[in-house]
Amino acid sequence: MSYKIILTPIDGGEACKRALSVAMNIARQCDSHIQAIHVKADSKEAVPLLGEGMSGSMIEEMINLADRDADDRAAVAHKMFDDFCSANNVSVTDKPDCTGGASMSWLQEEGREDERVANRGRVVDLIVMAQPANDTSQPSLLTLHAAIFETGRPVLMVPENSSGDIGKNAVIAWNGTSEAARAVAGGIPLLATADKVTVLTAETEKSVTRIGGEELATYLKCHGITAKCEHVSPGAKSVGEAITDYCNDNGCDLLVTGAFTHSRLVQIILGGVTRHIISNAKIPVLMIH
């Protein structure tokens, strides 16, 4: 397995540039093609949100202002894309062969970013995007949730202070669930190139009845990946805090974990572990639901 098509949402900001840098390093390892997607907001969707009593001319003016703002944002994002391609000496093509090195293409769609990324993300191998600045960072948080829960693809979240190189010291947060198993499967290309892989399990009541880290390490060995097993006892900490603390204390540069939600209908309501990791991770995190 290898990542041949990588999707990266961009809005022209520095956070997106860091995500692109990580995607480019992976693309060079895997001869991948990066689809940089910018979703331009549809100003007409904002019409029902405008205040009552506004005249038609006022609404039209508001729409025109929103259109100009969207055009400006798209121009900034496209310039960042062009500058990035030039600085990295990467070819731009809409017909990649994914055998002769990394390549990139520009995609621009209109609508809601979370919906467009979720739709496009179902036909790629990996989605790389920046970590939301905080729990109220919209629409990036909604887009991240949509990528994780609506595509079936691995999503690599890149934090603000991440360097372009990742995956030399990788940790798998293992609890024996199907979500964790899918995350491991989706992370095999990165784990296979790591210098060090640790299977980390947290001691909880539920983990006792599930398949353990040692069995996972045996499975990984068949893929040429040597992993050691470590256990943490959260104690007074939450499981999410115990995992992120372990990563920070041991100089890890990649966390592979399943993503959980308490509600299939309201996917914004995340499990406690997933919410903590998204908000507090200081290293890239590969997640899948």
pLDDT single digits (tens) 117-174: 999 999 999 999 999 876 545 568 889 999 999 999 999 999 987 766 788 999 999 9
DSSP SS3 for 149: helix
Distant-in-sequence, close-in-space partners of 231: CB < 8 Å, separation ≥ 6: 200, 201, 202, 203, 213
Question: What pLDDT does 243 receive?
Answer: 94
Q: Which two structure tokens, joined as six digits, stand for 15?
A: 């956070």
Mean pLDDT of the chain: 87
Distant-in-sequence, close-in-space partners of 56: CB < 8 Å, separation ≥ 6: none
169-288 fold: Rossmann fold (3.40.50)
Question: What pLDDT does 276 receive?
Answer: 86
Distant-in-sequence, close-in-space partners of 69: CB < 8 Å, separation ≥ 6: none
> Taking the model in full, what pTM does it have?
0.90
DSSP SS3 for 126: strand
Q: Do residues 200 and 172 lie in contact, with contact meaning Cβ atoms separated by under 8 Å?
A: yes
Question: What pLDDT does 262 receive?
Answer: 53
Q: Do residues 128 and 23 lie in contact, with contact meaning Cβ atoms separated by under 8 Å?
A: yes
Average pLDDT over residues 179-207: 90
Query: In this predicted model, what pLDDT tens digit does every residue of 46-87 receive, in sequence order?
Result: 555 555 556 667 667 777 777 888 889 999 999 999 999 999
Q: How far apart are CA 39 and CA 184, in angstroms?
A: 30
Query: Considering the chain, what percentage of its residues have pLDDT values greater than 70?
Result: 85
* Closest to 64 measured CA to CA, from 89, 44, 39, 38: 44
Query: How many CB atoms are located within 10 Å of the residue 225 CB?
Result: 19
Q: How far apart are CA 243 and CA 18, in angstroms?
A: 24
Looking up tokens 């062969």 gives 97
Which CATH number fits the domain 5-158, given the four candidates 3.40.50.620, 3.30.2350.10, 2.120.10.80, 3.50.30.60? 3.40.50.620
DSSP H/E element including 202: strand 196-202
For CATH 3.40.50.620, list the domain ranges present in the chain: 5-158, 169-288
Average pLDDT over residues 21-47: 88
* Closest to 268 measured CA to CA, from 125, 184, 149: 149
Query: In this predicted model, what pLDDT tens digit does every residue of 272-283 receive, in sequence order?
Result: 788 889 989 999
Q: How far apart are CA 201 and CA 195, in angstroms?
A: 20
Q: Is the pLDDT of residue 44 over 80?
A: no
Confidence band, pLDDT 50/70/90 cuts, at residue 267: very low
